[in-house]
Amino acid sequence: KIIMGPAPTPGAIHGCPFKHAPDNQLSSLLTSMKINSNDTKEIMQLAKAGGHYQLACQKHFDVTHPGHQQMDLKLTESVANHPNAWYHASTQYHKIKLESKANDSTSSPSSDTTIIHS
C-alpha cells in the first residue's frame, strides 16, 4: 500500500528510497552504510533496472542484518512490505545481538582477567 503511494515532495522524508530516490542518491546512501560494492550493485539492479523495490528492500535487510535467518525474528518475512515491519524486525535483531553479546561477556572470563591456579 505505501509503496504505491505518491512520491515524497521536496523536503519530505517518507517513501520508499528504492522506488523514489534517484540512482546516484540511492547508491551514495548504500555506500555510506558500508554496504559492499557487489551488494550495492545487486540492490541497485533489483530496484532500478528491475523495478523490484520489495526485493531490493529485502536484500538490503539481509545485508545489514547478517545472520537474521538463524534468529527467531517476528515479521522478517514482511520487512519488504511495510516500513513498520522492517523497523520492528530490525530492532528485534539488534536487541537479540546485544543480549547475546552481554551473555557472551558474562559467561566467559574476559581477556584481561588473570586466573591463578594453586
Q: Are residues 30 and 58 in the same domain?
A: yes
Burial of 26 (0-12, 13-18, 19+ CB in 10 A): buried
**What Cα–Cα distance (Å) separates residue 71 from each residue in 36, 59, 90?**
23, 17, 12
| 40 and 54 co-located in one domain | yes
User: Quick one: 81 and 97 in the same domain?
Assistant: yes
Is position 8 within any domain?
Answer: no
Average pLDDT over the chain, rounded to an integer? 83
Task: Look at the chain and report how many structural domains it folds into.
Answer: 2
Note whether 32 and 50 are same-domain residues. Answer: yes
When pLDDT is cut at 50, 70 and 90, the band that residue 77 belongs to is confident
Query: Do 55 and 73 lie in a common domain?
Result: no
Task: Tell me how far apart the alpha carbons of residues 22 and 30 are, in angstroms, rounded to a whole number.
Answer: 12
- Could you list the beta-strand ranges (E) of the chain: none
Condensed to tens digits (0 to 9), the pLDDT of residues 9-19 reads: 667 666 789 99
Are 90 and 100 part of one and the same domain? yes
Same domain assignment for residues 46 and 70: no
Q: Residue 16: count other Cβ atoms within 10 Å of its Cβ.
A: 20
90 and 54, same domain (yes or no) = no
- For residue 55, is it within any domain? yes
**CB within 8 A of 15, min separation 6: which ones?**
5, 7, 8
pLDDT at residue number 83: 86
Same domain, 49 and 87: no
- State pLDDT tens for residues 94-117: 999 999 888 877 765 555 554 555
Domain range for 45 is 16-63
Backbone CA torsion sign across 28, 24, 40, 3: positive
Write the CB contacts of 71 (distance below 8 Å, at least 6 apart in sequence): 92, 93, 96
pTM: 0.76
